[in-house]
Structure 1
């Protein structure tokens, strides 16, 4: 009996020591660098932070005996601040992976910091094609959409519909420039013609002079190579100018979200063609996730926010499978494992870091077609990822073997 009790006591001590060791492990910290207060706050912001936390909760809250913590910081749409935040998170706060990194200029800046430290960064909000081309790295993943796919899906469909002459209103930074360039290439390749463009500063409140130039161009399509508040303001002011109704021109927002349509209103936005990587009402899985998200955020998730949930979950599963947080080992598992969840079906991370998945072409409903708030899209086409995204052989990423 004494020997038995001694054995039980020893086993209990061992279990207690193991538990204490697990509790003593540092938390696995994931850091979001987000627009929490600016023109992209509705697209990413607190919604992206919430999506990341939901992914952690659904995963179980810990991995490899370590509690998973979600951090978030506001970059104020300043590239130098984004780089500073990334440096602090990775050097001082023990962050192992950066998520979202909303906006292209800020992502390019923060991404260089992550690359120098061999840390994984998973982009959801930014769209610049440079992130999987010249700025790619062995541990970078461009997860949701990019300027090539947005241009390829929206631009091609618009030209095929007979709207072959274009004029661009372009946000004057990396994202806008890439979006205009990629869309122009699609338009010309499809037989269309670009009549001109004008660049506007980020976070513009008055588009009148830019819209007058677009109006005088007589182009059939005015392509909005911007996003967030800039897209919302441009659409609203274009309606006030009568570009679409009296002028007969068609607006084409090249990166728009369901939250943008809500801000603009169906009366003004009806008929717009737009490409999206995700829509809350697409199928049973998207509806189930979006219902839970809306209980917390009071609005459906954007493609960027849904992408954050998917990317964080994919990362945590890879950490568990790899048995380590080592970036090379985790990235190897992530690239070998297809993404299958409410965001993507058989998604695949390529050598250039591009996560390839289906894209969708939607038309904004008329007010009479909508059943209520957030019921805004009609699905026109599902475009396979192999057709939507830049072909790997055309990649400018130095990691891709030609």
Structure 2
């Protein structure tokens, strides 16, 4: 696999299955970076062709490019290149790309990195090479726990926050007994434990569990076990295409119609779009972003959609944009992108502020802090315009939704 540089990235954007590619240099260097002959290089390492392609993929590349453009338009332009690659949801492939990018192509920061197993592998390489990983796509809370790093920022969400929001609301509304269907890899394992902890803490009980392979097409045997358990709640601990397929098949098996409550612990707007409101209506879940939250999110979305083939942004696209924008501000303040740990330290020092997540901060363990939202999918009758899919049930303040520093086991935390 060879990464190539091109003066035009628009054609590469259209080829969803393209494994490796690059975007153009954006503008002349700022004075603070004048001593560096090379441009600052951003690598968007993502899923361009599989189950997370809709929620990350091309949209994460577009969001990254928008962050570069918006940063440079703000008055301190840098010489920047954006590259991209498809990691195929394989940790070894992702690690190989990351090493080549850093060693041969001079990449300073790797962005997006959906799939927690991939992110954990890439995070080790980035730390070894003293570069930066902006983990806007993966969700494992281990990234700010036992696997925390002075070179990683975990931006959008994590398994602890998702479990805290959704599971607490469901148990408090009467869903006391749970059966969990879990994606069998790092994200699923972390979320499974977080869900169990939250359910138990709030007075419920997980009475059964089954694990399914990543990107499976047939959930019938797993769903039959969930149905037979008689649990009040069937918790789907998966994401992307796995969530879509498991919800569709659960409806076909009559699980919701039979009185069991279906809870998606991770749900993206692209999933709801694929499912349709008739199938997805009523689902409650926790998320960090929705395009229709306020005037700022709507204005940004209006710019994003035409560049993403008419598809609206997921929270992970928003995370890619906001994390890159903050990284560029920090790198500019440091005056160099060479020392990744120094840029990450500056990212933690500077308050965050962008149109999608607004004001926030980054903790010592690398956890980006912002409110989360409990959403409920609208009924077809409630939806009034394209992609009008969510009602906000409640806003969950940052101090309530993120794991306390004392509980994560991060070596960077001095208690």
Query: Same fold judged by TM-score > 0.5?
Result: yes
**Counterpart-to-counterpart distance in 2, 1:164 and 1:91:** 51
**Counterpart-to-counterpart distance in 2, 1:61 and 1:128:** 34
1:6 aligned partner: none
Change in CA separation of 1:62 and 1:357 when aligned onto 2, cut-off 3 Å: closer
Alignment pair present for 1:283 and 2:291:
no
Give the counterpart of 1:336 among 327, 349, 363. 349
Q: If the length of structure 2 is used for normalisation, what is the TM-score?
A: 0.89
Alignment pair present for 1:43 and 2:55:
yes
Give the counterpart of 1:97 among 88, 109, 112. 109
Q: Give CA deviations for 1:228-284 in whole Å, capped at 9, x if unaligned.
A: 000000000011111001x11111110110000011111011100011100000000
More helix by share: 1
Alignment pair present for 1:255 and 2:269:
no
Alignment pair present for 1:393 and 2:403:
no
**Counterpart-to-counterpart distance in 1, 2:205 and 2:340:** 45
**Counterpart-to-counterpart distance in 2, 1:35 and 1:116:** 24
**Counterpart-to-counterpart distance in 2, 1:63 and 1:128:** 36
Determine helix, strand or coil for the equivalent of 1:360.
strand
Determine helix, strand or coil for the equivalent of 1:299.
coil
- How far the C-alpha of 1:337 sits from its partner, in A, is 1.4
2:127 aligned partner: 115
- How far the C-alpha of 1:145 sits from its partner, in A, is 0.2
Q: Which runs of 5+ in 2 are unaligned?
A: 1-29
Q: What is the count of residue pairs matched by the alignment? A: 383
Q: If the length of structure 1 is used for normalisation, what is the TM-score?
A: 0.92
Q: Give CA deviations for 1:358-399 in whole Å, capped at 9, x if unaligned.
A: 000001111110113311100011011111010111121111
Larger Rg: 1
**Pairs within 5 Å for 1:23-34:** 25-34=37-46
2:388 aligned partner: 375
Determine helix, strand or coil for the equivalent of 2:381.
helix
Change in CA separation of 1:63 and 1:122 when aligned onto 2, cut-off 3 Å: farther
Q: Give CA deviations for 1:159-211 in whole Å, capped at 9, x if unaligned.
A: 01111110011000010111111011100100001110100000010111011
Alignment pair present for 1:293 and 2:304:
yes
**Counterpart-to-counterpart distance in 1, 2:41 and 2:202:** 46
Give the counterpart of 1:272 among 255, 280, 283. 283
Between 317-326 and 220-229, report the one with greater CA deviation: 317-326
Change in CA separation of 1:189 and 1:23 when aligned onto 2, cut-off 3 Å: closer
Determine helix, strand or coil for the equivalent of 1:305.
helix
- How far the C-alpha of 1:66 sits from its partner, in A, is 4.4
2:177 aligned partner: 165
CA contact (8 A) 2:182 2:211 kept: yes
CA contact (8 A) 2:357 2:370 kept: yes
1:4 aligned partner: none
